[in-house]
């Protein structure tokens, strides 16, 4: 199925707008962390990338302990990062046609 740039932009916008609205229990976070750890080990993620992912995760947790990270400039930056990451996920792999 082909989608237009406009449709892709709308999908990305909807995904980014949903950031911060999901709630999760501690047990759900544990489960997701275990799944994420397995995925990082199984995929072609470098040690440097894993280190960066951990640093970002640690900073988000520390920030959330200190203040509400869903307000101010922090949430704006998180949404910008999420939008860029969404673009990477939607981009076709090298050699694939759109």
Give me the residue spans of the domains in the chain: 21-87
pTM: 0.53
Residue 55 pLDDT > 60: yes
Contact call for residues 63 and 74 (beta carbons, < 8 A): yes
Mean pLDDT for the chain?
78
Higher pLDDT, 31 or 12: 31
Calpha distance 79→69 (Å, rounded): 11
What's the confidence (pLDDT) of residue 6? 76
Residue 84 pLDDT > 80: yes
Question: Mean pLDDT throughout 54-82?
Answer: 89
What's the confidence (pLDDT) of residue 31? 80
Calpha distance 2→28 (Å, rounded): 34
Question: Mean pLDDT throughout 71-75?
Answer: 88
What's the confidence (pLDDT) of residue 5? 72
Residue 11 pLDDT > 80: no
């Amino acid at each position: 199925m082909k989608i237009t740039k406009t449709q892709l932009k709308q999908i990305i916008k909807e995904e980014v707008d949903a950031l911060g609205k999901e709630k999760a229990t501690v047990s759900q976070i544990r489960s997701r962390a275990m799944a994420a750890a397995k995925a990082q080990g199984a995929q072609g993620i470098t040690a440097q990338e894993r280190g960066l992912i951990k640093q970002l995760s640690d900073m988000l947790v520390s920030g959330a302990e200190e203040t509400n990270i869903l307000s101010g400039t922090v949430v704006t930056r998180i949404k910008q990062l999420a939008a860029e990451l969404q673009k990477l996920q939607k981009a076709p792999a090298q050699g694939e046609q759109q």
